[in-house]
Amino acid sequence: MRSWPAPEISPLPGAGLPLRLYDTAAGEVRGTTPETTARMYVCGITPYDATHLGHANTYLAFDLVNRVWRDAGHRVHYTQNATDVDDPLLERAQRDGVDWRELAEEQIELFRTDMEALRLVPPDDYVGVTEVIGQVAELIERLKDKGATYEVDGDVYFAVAASPKFGAVSGFSEATMLELFAERGGDPGRPGKRHPLDWLLWRAERPGEPSWPSPFGQGRPGWHVECTSIALACLGAGFDVSGGGSDLIFPHHEMGASEGHVATGEWPFAKAYVHAGMVALDGEKMSKSRGNLVFVSRLRAAHDPMAIRLALLARHYRADWEWTDEQLTGAEDRLSRWRAAVALPGGPDGAAVLRQVRERLADDLDAPGALTVIDAWAGRALEGDHSDPGAPALVRATADALLGVAL
Ligand SMILES: Nc1ncnc2c1ncn2[C@@H]1O[C@H](COS(=O)(=O)NC(=O)[C@@H](N)CS)[C@@H](O)[C@H]1O
Ligand SMILES: [Zn+2]
């Protein structure tokens, strides 16, 4: 699938610092160690109710990863999927009496428009799972050849007992796993399964559901295996970052890592598992099932997308936090202050701003800290410190390249 047009990225003098990120599997902040080309897989949307602020918050975190790696001299190979066939999408299409393919297409287009407006760097590979059904079936075949699968009434399951590394990503107890698995699309109680945590790889055709041919009959892929297949095909095992919101830690990323490991024999499947916190509204996580959503497209109708971006950047990417309209007005004030300051003939030392913003972002994406650095510079510039005539241009370029904020 087409992704979206890339924003300009201003060149900056010198180079950034090595990026350190909190790795869920390690349970601590660790230095990323990408090669010349850094490789990142970020789970994409299930295309309905796009693009809400929770989505935007998560993709923005990985946009910062992309920008910091580029500033440190790496090329970035960025892959993102779209889950354009899955139970929740079919249910929503059914509820609204629309064709599921049309719903997916329209929502993916809205997502692209929102991502472009917020100036996120687009993925190099933007892959709808319906584009790669055959490839996914091949991966399932590989897992079958490894003896890691079995069938229940025509549906193909991954046997958790076949994965020596199961649990290495989340570190959760079995009780927590069972609870989350049931909450997030799993079927722990299904009769005929060998273990409650075994998960669906291939769902045999049901009446009225879309299906595709495969070596194991008409059907469609399970959720986790699509991402494993696309990441392996585009990036190869051992890629640098597997990203998503914290609600993907389990079952999605845990099960995908097991699939990748058993299929390739390589570990880790991803060198770092990086998760963004949950954005809430009125005390509840913003989610389609709850319907308490704030849409980027609606905010864009009345607000500068750069203010929306600044409002999101004001929170640490791993924090769970509550959206309020006041945060947007605060971001609009900050945006106009920054724009006024970079329009001045000079300001305090610009090189210090670049150095400090680089330090903040390299330290597990401390964007709030980076915003504070530019706030301080803008404040002193607006009070009349114009000692460095080159500073306004350098601060503008820093905000653009590292934070994605166009002043
Ligand atoms: N309230 C929220 N706050 C932060 N991130 C969220 C929120 N809701 C969803 N996300 C993140 O947004 C991304 C897309 O979510 S999604 O549309 O439900 N789609 C999926 O989770 C799958 N298509 C991934 S393969 C995921 O990384 C998810 O963790
Ligand atoms: Zn995914």
- Rounded to the nearest angstrom, the distance between the alpha carbon of 175 and the centre of ligand 2 is 23
Contact present, 112 and 4 (Cβ < 8 Å): yes
Split at pLDDT 50, 70, 90, the class of 347 is very high
Per-chain mean pLDDT for the chain:
97
Nearest CA to ligand 1 atom 21: 45
Please report the atom of ligand 1 found closest to the CA of residue 244: 27
149 is in an annotated binding site: no
Ligand nearest to the CA of 315: 1
Q: How far apart are the first and last CA of the chain?
A: 31
In whole angstroms, give the CA distance from residue 74 to residue 34. Answer: 8
In whole angstroms, give the CA distance from residue 349 to residue 360. Answer: 17
252 is in an annotated binding site: yes
pLDDT digits (tens, 9 = 90+) for 253-300: 999 999 999 999 999 999 999 999 999 998 898 988 788 899 999 999
pLDDT digits (tens, 9 = 90+) for 215-236: 999 999 999 999 999 999 999 9
Nearest CA to ligand 1 atom 14: 45
Cβ < 5 A residues, ion ligand 2: 43, 227
Binding site membership of 55 for ligand 1 (Cβ less than 6 Å): yes
Split at pLDDT 50, 70, 90, the class of 310 is very high
CATH architecture of 306-316+324-403: Up-down Bundle (1.20)
CATH class of 25-285: alpha beta
What is the domain partition of the chain in residue ranges? 25-285, 306-316+324-403
- Contacts for 265 with CB less than 8 Å, ≥ 6 apart: none
Nearest CA to ligand 1 atom 15: 45
At residue 322, what is the residue type?
E
Binding site membership of 45 for ligand 1 (Cβ less than 6 Å): yes
- Rounded to the nearest angstrom, the distance between the alpha carbon of 74 and the centre of ligand 2 is 24
| pLDDT at residue 170 greater than cutoff 90 | yes
Q: What does the pLDDT average to over 96-113? A: 97
**pLDDT for residue 326:** 95
- Rounded to the nearest angstrom, the distance between the alpha carbon of 234 and the centre of ligand 2 is 14
Lowest-pLDDT choice from 128-142, 153-167, 275-289, 393-407: 275-289
- Contacts for 284 with CB less than 8 Å, ≥ 6 apart: 290, 292
Binding site membership of 244 for ligand 1 (Cβ less than 6 Å): yes
81 is in an annotated binding site: yes
398 is in an annotated binding site: no
Binding site membership of 287 for ligand 1 (Cβ less than 6 Å): yes
Number of C-beta neighbours around residue 179 at 10 A: 15
ipTM of the shown complex: 0.99
Angle 275-279-283 from CA coordinates, rounded to 5°? 135
| pLDDT at residue 318 greater than cutoff 90 | yes
Ligand nearest to the CA of 242: 2
Binding site membership of 335 for ligand 1 (Cβ less than 6 Å): no
For the chain, what is the HEC assignment?
Answer: CCCCCCCCCCCCCCCCCCCEEEECCCCEEEECCCCCEEEEEECCCCCCCCCEHHHHHHHHHHHHHHHHHHHCCCEEEEEEEECCCCHHHHHHHHHHCCCHHHHHHHHHHHHHHHHHHCCCCCCCEEEEHHHCHHHHHHHHHHHHHCCCEEEECCEEEECHHHCCCCCCCCCCCHHHHHHHHHHCCCCCCCCCCCCCCCEEEEEECCCCCCCECCCCCCEEECHHHHHHHHHHHHCCCCEEEEEEEHHHHHHHHHHHHHHHHHHHCCCCCEEEEEEECCEEECCEECCCCCCCCCEHHHHHHHCCHHHHHHHHHCCCCCCCEECCHHHHHHHHHHHHHHHHHHCCCCECCHHHHHHHHHHHHHECCCHHHHHHHHHHHHHHHHCCCCCECCHHHHHHHHHHHHHCCCC
- Rounded to the nearest angstrom, the distance between the alpha carbon of 27 and the centre of ligand 1 is 21
In whole angstroms, give the CA distance from residue 103 to residue 12. Answer: 41
Helices 367-382, 305-313: crossing angle, 10 deg rounding: 120
pLDDT digits (tens, 9 = 90+) for 378-407: 999 999 999 999 999 999 999 999 999 999
* Beta strand pairing call for 125-128 and 149-152: unpaired
Angle 176-178-180 from CA coordinates, rounded to 5°? 65
Q: What does the pLDDT average to over 121-140? A: 98
- Rounded to the nearest angstrom, the distance between the alpha carbon of 83 and the centre of ligand 2 is 8
